[in-house]
Amino acid sequence: MMRALLFALLAFFAALAAAHKPSDSYLGVTVAGDTVRGQWDIALRDLDFAIGLDSNGNGEITWGELRARQPEIDAYALSRLTVALDGKACQPRVTEHLVDNHSDGAYAVLRFEAPCAKAGAVLTLGYNLFFDLDPQHKGLLRLEFDGATRTAIFSPDAAQQRFELTKPSRITQFFDYGREGVWHIWIGFDHILFLLSLLLPAVLVITHHQWRAVERFKTAFWDVLKIVTAFTVAHSITLSLAALGVISLPTRLTESAIALSVVLAALNNIFPLFQRRRWMVAFGFGLIHGFGFASVLADLGLPRDALLLALVGFNLGVEAGQLAIVAVFLPVAFGLRRSWFYRRVVLIGGSALISLLAAVWFVERAFNLKVLGF
């Protein structure tokens, strides 16, 4: 998949070298200690309009023509960019000249470095490229600091912008990963169904091969608490180990195993095998679900400098999402536990549906597995 798309990418740059879009430049800035480094991609068309690049007048810009004007380009661009840390100006100088293709044509790439007096907590960038020639021009900033990435847009109305480089970004980052965790449990139907399958019988008890309602809320509560805690501890362990790179399993394998765990957990309600020990099932399969969470976290991209922070944030988000589900489930189930509806339709019918659905997932995921040759 990845390879096919990359080929397509190369082909489209060759075929569609000059799409029409408004003028933008792409400014990537990284702050590391007392040095601000950057990469600035500026469209050749815009540079040609500003200072003229087509020296031989044939309507084409060659690398030779661009190289010949490089000093003027550097001077033109850098005189329209100011960089300051804590209010003290840093002087950028170009370290490398390259070329890149964007969706609308070729860009000159200036890599630059701006040494500052000392590290600071506030970065100020002033951007004034091309605004006099084209007020609709925009500078698209991608700022990286301490593993976090921010984006901003420079326009004539917002030519100077301040960026805080201190703690708040960490807290934001923490909550961002937390939110992702909640979101993932919320859209991760396989995890929800697994948990529900284990929780459904918590308000019942088997005597003489017959489900009967538990008498007291406390009994159900402790059962749920044990299951949720076991699941949480288990998936936290594998999530952490996978995220830290200690263990790695093929996603296809873990995703299929997760589907299978849902099938088994649901079947266990119809043909009870584990009753009072469902927390052990929760723990055992929870280990597998942890790998599922880890692959989501890997897709989100982990900040190198704030690995633990992101991990804890994401995990707490997952727990919060899980608790919300339990908080809704438990009172409702407890209220309905004596009814025929709960025992037959919800527990048996629901479990049958869940196991059927999860079986389809399993076949789907396992089928992909064969196709891809694992």
- 60 lies in the site for another protein, by CB under 8 A: yes
3 state SS for 183-197: HHHHHCHHHHHHHHH
Neighbours of 78 (CB within 10 A): 19
Which residue number, 61 or 114, has a Cβ lying nearer to another protein?
61
Applying the rule CB under 8 A, the residues between 305 and 364 that interact with another protein are none
Question: What count of other Cβ atoms lies within 10 Å of the Cβ of residue 263?
Answer: 21
Cβ neighbours of 255 (radius 10 Å):
23
Least distance between another protein and beta carbon 156 (Å): 10
Name the minimum Å distance from CB 13 to another protein.
9
Considering only 92, 105, 290, 317, the residue that binds another protein (CB under 8 A) is 105
- Counting residues that bind another protein (by CB under 8 A) gives 73
Longest C-alpha distance within the chain, in Å?
96
Closest CA to 327 of 252, 228, 249: 228
For residue 37, the Cα-to-chain-centroid distance in whole angstroms is 25
Using rule CB under 8 A, residue 169 touches another protein: no
Least distance in angstroms from the C-beta of 111 to another protein: 8
We find the least distance from the C-beta atom of residue 159 to another protein, in angstroms, to be 15
The 3-state DSSP class for residue 12 equals: helix
- 158: contact with another protein by CB under 8 A: no
Ranges within 170-229 binding another protein (CB under 8 A): none
Q: In whole angstroms, what is the distance from residue 75 CA to residue 96 CA?
A: 14
User: Which range of residues in 59-67, 177-185, 201-209, 268-276 is near another protein by CB under 8 A?
Assistant: 59-67
Measured from the CB atom, the residue of 105 and 201 that comes closer to another protein is 105
Binding mask 241-280 for another protein (x = CB under 8 A): ----------xx--x-------------------------
Q: What DSSP letter does each residue of 121-133 carry, written as one string?
A: SEEEEEE-SSTTT
How far apart CA 260 and CA 35 sit, in angstroms, is: 51
**What are 134's two structure tokens?**
């084209």
Helix (H, G, I), strand (E, B) or coil at 155: strand
Residue 51 in the binding site for another protein (CB under 8 A): no
Q: Least separation, in Å, of the C-beta of 341 and another protein?
A: 29
Q: How far is the CB of 141 from another protein (least distance, A)?
A: 10
